[in-house]
Amino acid sequence: ARGHVQQLHDAAGGATVRFAGHLKTSGAVTATAGVMAYTADWKGIDFQAIDQVKGTVDWHPFAGAVVLPADAAHFAFAVSVEG
């Protein structure tokens, strides 16, 4: 199984965005938190992982900063779970 959630925002290319939160997992899964960059017409151009956890993990804090590519116009804070 696979799941994905994201929160969309507008931003200028070259901007630095910060993403922080907590991940909690149970069972044979992998969860990844990161930032996805999009062009003005919403073409995905870059994904930068901030943190990843595997297996059963209690609330795991993560935080990171990402510099968006020069041609970015939008970005998403994203968390995906697979397993």
Q: What is the pTM of this model?
A: 0.91
Over residues 13-66, the pLDDT tens digits come to: 999 999 999 999 999 999 999 999 999 999 999 999 999 999 999 999 999 999
Nearest 5°: the CA angle 42, 48, 51 is: 135
Alpha helix positions (H), 1-83: none
Task: With beta carbons less than 8 A apart as the criterion, state whether 79 and 25 touch.
Answer: no
Task: With beta carbons less than 8 A apart as the criterion, state whether 69 and 15 touch.
Answer: no
